[in-house]
Structure formats: C-alpha cells, structure tokens
Chain A
Amino acid sequence: MTGTLVDARGLRCPIPVIRLATAAKGLPAGTELTVLSTDPAAKLDVPAWCRMRGHEHVATHEHVAGSGGSDWTGWSVTVRLA
C-alpha cells in the first residue's frame, strides 16, 4: 500500500467513494490513494468511479479477519489519479 490512506471502514455506500473523492481533490496526477472499506459495494464502485473520472484502478485486496495477519474483514482498493 502506497500513498494516501483513506479509512472508510464501517461506512456504507456511497460514503467510501465520497471520502476517496474528497481526499483526491487537488492532488497531483500520478498520486496513489488506497481506500479501506468494509462495505461490499466499495470494491465495485471505486473502479466505476475511476472509469467515470478517468483515474486508474490499480488493485483490490480482500482482507479476512484472522487470516494473513489481518484483524478486519473487507477490501482495500488502490487507485492512481489522472
């Protein structure tokens, strides 16, 4: 995980995408942001946001509490700003 971290865990759609867009505002092209979310809609809607805004969806990782050292269940989605 690189760049700015947006912790939107515990928040429901569309708040994680709004938090991400707010954090992205004014940042230079090429900046990477990672949003953490426990809402299953975010793993679908962050890539859709990238498509609508021309940003790049870099990766999505699933986290499962108790596996791979994770203490929470959800997704981290990384984007690169255009």
Chain B
Amino acid sequence: VSHATPGTPDRVHLDNGGRAPWHPLARQAFEQALGDGWADPRRLHAEGRRAARLLDGAREAIAAVLGARTQEVHLTPSHTASLHTAVASAAAGRRRAGTAVVTSAVERSALLQAAAHAAGTTQAASPVPVDPVPVDRLGRVDADAMIAAVQAPGVALAALQHANGEVGTLQPVEAVHDAARASGVPLLVDAGASVGHVAVPAAWDLLAADPADWGGPAGVGVLAVRQRVRTAPVGPEDEDPWAPGGVSVPLAFAAAVALQAVEADRAEQEARRRRLVELLRAEVSRIPDVEVVGDPDGRLPHVATFSFLYVDGEALVTELDRHGFAVGSGSACTSSTLEPSHVLAAMGVLTHGNVRIALDRTTTADEVDRFCAVLPGAVARVREMLGVGGL
C-alpha cells in the first residue's frame, strides 16, 4: 500500500504519531457509512435508526478492544477534546474531595492545560495547583513520587499516559493505578500514542485513545469511563455531554473498523516495527554527537527520537524533507511558540537538533534503510552551515 503524496512517488512519511495514513479498511468503512449512516442517529425514522446502528456497532467494537463495556465508551470530537472533557468532568465529579489534578511532567500539553484549568476554575476557596511529577532521563515518571502525590489530601484526579508519544517511553500505569485506587482517586490514562500499537492496558478508570494515531480518521476521539467513576457535566446541557451535538457516524464507524483491523495483526506489526526501530536507534547512535532518547527497552515499538548536538532542528527537518523524508521535531525552532518540547525539557536531554520518528504499519525496511543512509549526510550538511567542525 502506497501512501505517498500524489506526484511525489519517492516521499517517505516517518511522522505518523497522532496522524497516520488511513488503514485501507477504514476508507472502505467510511465509504460504506457515507451511504448507510449519513442521517442523524438521534432521529426515529429508518434512516436515523440505520445510522444509530452503525454508531452503536462502532462503540461496541471499540469497547471490545479496550476491554470496556459498550456503555462505558464515549465518542468525542478529537483526542484533545477527550482529554479536556475527561479532566474537567472527572475533577468536577470529585469537587468535594479537592481540586488538584496530579499529572506527570510529560503528559500531553492538552492534558496539562486541562489540569491547570480544572484546578483554577473549580469553586473551591483555595484551589491547589500541583507541580507535575518529574521524570527521569529516560522519560519515565518517578512512580514513588507520583504515588505520594496521589495520596496527598485534596486530590480530585490523577493522570498518567500509557506511553509517551514523543519519545516512546512506557509509564508505570499499573503501580500508579493500584495506589490511586487505594486512595479512592480515579486515574485517567492517556493511551493516545499506544492503542493500536501495543496491548491496551487494563489499569485505568478513564482511558483516552486516538483514532488518528492508529490509522483511523481525525475528527473523532475515544474516551472510556468506567461505570464506577463519578463524573459531572461541565458544559451546557446536551443530549451527549461528551460530544455536544453528536459525532460524525461515518468517522466513528471508520475509526472502529480501523481499530479492529490493526488489532487483528498487532503482534506481528509490533515485532516488525520494533526490529526496525532497534535498527534505526543503533544506526543513529553511530552518528557523532547524538543523544538517542527514551527508554531503550520499556518503549513503544514504532517511535524513535534523537537529538544532534550543534544542529538546528528546523534546518535538519527541512534538509530531510528536501530529500523526501518527512520527520517530526521537538526543537524550539520547529514549534510555533519557539519553546522546546516540554517532554525533552522534563527529561533533561538535548532539545536542539531533535528528530522524532513514528513508523507507520506501511513503513518498509527499505524505507528505514534509505533514511539511515541519508541522515548522516543531512546532519553533516546542517553542521557545516553552522561552521561547527572541531567543536
């Protein structure tokens, strides 16, 4: 299956985190649902009921993969919306216990923003903002510190990602969930970078997953909330508080079919991409003055991240793009805010000259080999432009 941009047959897209090309079966499902599920699923006529059946089927299929009950699975407008709503409504549901939301320092920005917002906007007399729990050099959260933070008084909610999408490191969600449960604090697990790539974790009270990351469409998100978790609506009254106005049935159906499809051969894809990432990390580490970041073992199978000393990240992304390779970067000069990635900053690793790779299911060994062949020259050219020889 080729996913090259039309007219540029030699493009190799290695920036698939959070936005992977659609799985072929997702496209098929989308086409089918455009025909059968275009109507408003809330209406009572035959067309509405047909759309409602597709939507119910989508929730059922997603629930089966997540290890949840169908009624625990909610569809949302996006992964960001899932995180915003999950934090706000779970924190609001525990207003009496407190307002603090405990997070790791490497959660997605959307989650960190939602946590700050929840702590600052609840009705409590003295909102308690909590500093995010630090991570080690590999990006793994200090489990003991996170557990201690969860056990402190005044905590409404804790949030820990299953794996970090920028550097690939897996987090100790099970240990943190055990401690949170014992303290009566619900745990939100952001599995947006892991579902579809590794086995879904069982340790969660709320779980957010991202269809656009597993080969489904953008424009729909998944949020599972265990029945035992108390939540409170945070927006204006709506029939569907998780997606006011409802979600697109064709997008939801395509997301569910894509998830079923990637789960069907997940183990093979996991092993195959893990081998490619190991090769890539080994090849990259031979380039002078590089930090290959993230946990070498406890990691996502398809993500590789590294930073080159004395390299301008923006220049390197552009140089690789010129050679047909699309990659991501967490360097300050590649972000709209000109701030380096908060994940790299929290890890204490080099933030400039950063390259972020997420292999798609369609990425071939040949494409990875070609990238490994081109990268050393691209790094050398960017360093040459900056005149850093001998430093």
Binding site for B on A (CB under 8 A): 12-15, 17-18, 21-22, 25, 39-41, 44-45, 47-49, 52
Residues A52 and B391 in contact, CB atoms below 8 Å apart: no
Judge whether A41 and B340 touch: CB under 8 Å.
yes
In the complex, which residues of chain A have a beta carbon less than 8 angstroms from the beta carbon of B244? none
Given contacts A17-B310, A17-B352, A45-B351, could you give 9 more A-B pairs where the C-beta distance is less than 8 Å? Answer: A12-B332, A13-B351, A18-B391, A40-B339, A45-B350, A47-B348, A48-B291, A52-B291, A52-B309
Nearest to A43 among chain B residues (CB) is B345
Q: Which of A22, A39, A49 is the one whose CB lies under 8 Å from B350?
A: A49
Known contacts being A14-B310, A21-B310, is A44 close to B344, with CB within 8 Å? yes
4 closest Cβ pairs, A-B complex = A14-B352, A48-B350, A13-B352, A21-B391
Which residues in window 377-391 of B have CB below 8 A to A? 386, 388, 390-391
Q: Is the interface of B mostly helix, strand, loop or mixed?
A: loop
A41/B309 contact (C-beta < 8 A), A18-B386, A52-B350 known: no
Q: Please name all residues of chain B whose beta carbon is closer than 8 Å to the beta carbon of A17 when the two chains form the complex.
A: 309-310, 352
User: Do A39 and B332 contact each other (CB < 8 Å), given the known contacts A13-B340, A45-B350, A45-B351?
Assistant: yes
Complex alpha-carbon distance, A12 and B352, angstroms = 10
Give, as a whole number of angstroms, the nearest-CB distance from B343 to chain A: 11
Whether the pair B340, A14 counts as a contact (CB closer than 8 A) is no
B333 interface residue (CB < 8 Å to A): yes
Q: Shortest beta-carbon distance, B389 to chain A, in Å?
A: 11
Name A39's closest neighbour in chain B (CB-CB).
B332
A67 to B5, CA, bound (A): 52
In the bound complex, do residue A25 and residue B390 qualify as a contact, i.e. CB atoms below 8 Å apart? yes
Whole-angstrom CA separation of A14 from B315 in the bound complex: 11
